């Protein structure tokens, strides 16, 4: 079997590649001065759809793919829920001549940071890195959620098993077998079935 390696130029598209940006919606929350205009133009070069927002809203919107927002002192308190709960790719913009409060920057948990005035390619590189981190974080969260789910299910199944053993006079192995069979018949997960058994038992008191 021969080993072929043909790298077609321009076909690279892994992770957050530039060619994907033309479908993204981007919010830019900055003053619309020369630096702000320049930033918007740079983002538009990636062919993403840009919406400018100013002044900074009480709550940082999350219905965009990427949000650029100027660093202000109360930025961390303008997030819905917990900052950095990974609803949106978030890039902090440090204004020109502004002071950079390190603590505020840290608490704003951005996926990337850019400084105004932005230089060519800085915006694109920040978008690529931020998008990639955001998506990776989201995948890891999914994985953790799944594992948490498994742990919860184990506990619930354990309780359902005991209920089955007591009410139907089954041994442990038979109880598990029945749980598996019923879950399959009803086309639900064994965790979901166990949880409805536990719930109905609790209703009966």
Partner 1 sequence: MLVKEAKTEEPWRVGVLFSHSGFMAVIEDTQLRGTLTAIDEINDNGGINGRPIEPVIYDPGSETAAFGRHANRMMVEDGISTIFGCYTSSSRKSVLPVVERLNGLLWYPTLYEGFEFSPNIIYTGAGPNQNSVELCRYLMEHYGKRFYFIGSDYVYPRMSNKIMWEFVRTNGGEVVGEQYLNLRAKPKDFIPVMKDIKETQPDVIFSTVVGEATSTLYQAYMDCGFDPKVMPIASLTTTEAEISDMGFDVGEGHITAAPYFDGLESEANSTFSARYKKRYGADEPTNMCLEAAYFQVHMFAKALEETNSLDTDLLRPTILGSEFEAPQGKISINQGCSHADLWTRIGKVNRGGRFDIMYESKSRVSADPYLIGYSRSIAF
Where does 46-121 have alpha helices with state H? Answer: 102-107
* Beta carbon of residue 127, minimum distance to partner 1 (angstroms, whole number): 14
CA distances from residue 110 to 15, 20, 43, 196 in whole angstroms, order as listed: 19, 21, 17, 41
* Beta carbon of residue 95, minimum distance to partner 1 (angstroms, whole number): 30
* Beta carbon of residue 135, minimum distance to partner 1 (angstroms, whole number): 6
User: Which burial class, exposed, middle or buried, applies to 52 when counting CB atoms under 10 A from its CB (0-12, 13-18, 19+)?
Assistant: middle
- Nearer residue to partner 1 within complex by CB, 8 or 203: 8
- Nearer residue to partner 1 within complex by CB, 1 or 204: 1
* Beta carbon of residue 84, minimum distance to partner 1 (angstroms, whole number): 19
- Nearer residue to partner 1 within complex by CB, 168 or 180: 180
- In this structure, are residues 27 and 68 in contact, taking their beta carbons and an 8 Å threshold? yes
Helix, coil or strand: residue 28: strand
Helix, coil or strand: residue 161: helix
- Nearer residue to partner 1 within complex by CB, 32 or 152: 152
Helix, coil or strand: residue 90: strand
Binding site for partner 1 (CB under 8 A): 1-8, 11-15, 20, 23-24, 65, 135-136, 139-140, 142-143, 146-147, 150, 153-154, 157, 161, 172-173, 175-176, 179-180, 183-184, 189-191
């Amino acid at each position: 079997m021969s080993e072929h390696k043909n790298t077609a130029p321009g076909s690279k598209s892994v992770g957050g590649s530039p060619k994907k940006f033309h479908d993204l919606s981007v919010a830019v929350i900055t003053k619309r001065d020369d630096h702000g205009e320049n930033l918007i133009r740079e983002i538009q070069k990636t062919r993403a759809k840009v919406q400018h927002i100013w002044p900074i809203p009480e709550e940082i919107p999350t219905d965009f793919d990427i949000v650029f927002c100027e660093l202000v002192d109360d930025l961390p308190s303008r997030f819905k829920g917990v900052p950095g709960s990974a609803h949106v790719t978030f890039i902090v913009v440090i204004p020109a001549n502004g002071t950079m409060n390190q603590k505020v920057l840290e608490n704003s948990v951005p996926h990337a940071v850019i400084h105004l005035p932005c230089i060519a390619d800085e915006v694109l590189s920040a978008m690529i890195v931020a998008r990639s981190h955001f998506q990776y974080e989201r995948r890891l969260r999914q994985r953790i959620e799944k594992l948490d789910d498994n742990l919860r299910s184990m506990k619930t199944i354990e309780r359902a098993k005991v209920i089955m053993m007591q009410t139907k006079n089954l041994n442990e192995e038979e109880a598990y077998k029945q749980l598996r069979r019923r879950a399959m018949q009803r086309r639900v997960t064994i965790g979901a079935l166990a949880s409805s058994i536990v719930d109905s038992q609790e209703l009966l008191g």
